[in-house]
Amino acid sequence: MTALIVCTSKSNGSTRAVADEMAKAIDARVVSPDEVTDAEIDAAELVGWGSGIYWMSFASEVTDRIKALADRPRGRAFVVATSGLPETPLRRYTRSMSDLLAEKGFEVADTFHCRGLDTMGPLGLVGGVNRGHPTQADLALARTFALRVAG
């Protein structure tokens, strides 16, 4: 199986740490949105899409890259998110990302979310929240998730 994980990890490296663990588990390549071509995306049987959550949204680099894809049937995909605060029932950012991927022809297998160090806005004034995240337990869950989705 060919797998690819497209992610951006701008602030503290939390999302990249999770993506790297997943990639090791399923022998995938991790690339940034500007490093990957449409042909590479189309050739992969499984594509992970991830970023940290910024003001309750995925990074625009990731969403813009998905929006730039032509609408056509594609392979399977999964969503990866890290954030300082939990996803709220009023704004399910993983659901909106899954919907965007489905619009572009992906079959969305599942989503993965864990806490990450958050130093955005006023949280930076107090040193951030979730220091030490993702933890080893979070990374183990990420590996298990990737194996299940790939399996």
Distance CA 102, CA 73 (A): 9
For tokens 């929006």, what's the residue? 67
Q: Which two tokens stand for residue 78?
A: 């999964």
- My answer on whether omega of the bond before 134 falls inside 30° of 0, hence cis, is yes
Would you mind telling me the total number of residues written for the chain in this entry?
Answer: 151
Query: What pLDDT was estimated at residue 141?
Result: 97
Architecture of domain 3-119+126-150: 3-Layer(aba) Sandwich (3.40)
Q: Residue 102: phi, psi to the nearest 5?
A: -65, -40
Query: What pLDDT was estimated at residue 79?
Result: 98
| Per-residue model confidence as pLDDT tens for the chain (151 residues) | 899 999 998 767 789 999 999 999 999 999 999 999 999 999 999 999 999 888 778 999 999 999 999 999 999 999 999 977 667 777 788 899 999 999 999 999 999 988 765 655 555 545 554 565 688 999 999 999 999 999 8
For tokens 């979070």, what's the residue? 138
Q: Which two tokens stand for residue 43?
A: 């050739």
Instruction: Kindly report the pTM of this predicted structure.
Output: 0.88
Burial 106-118 (b: 16+ CB within 10 A, else e): bebbebbbbbbbb
Distance CA 140, CA 132 (A): 15
Query: What pLDDT was estimated at residue 121?
Result: 57
Cite the beta strand spans of 9-143 per DSSP E: 29-31, 46-54, 57-58, 76-83, 107-115
Map out the domains of the chain as residue ranges: 3-119+126-150
DSSP assignment string, 19-33: HHHHHHHHT-EEE-T
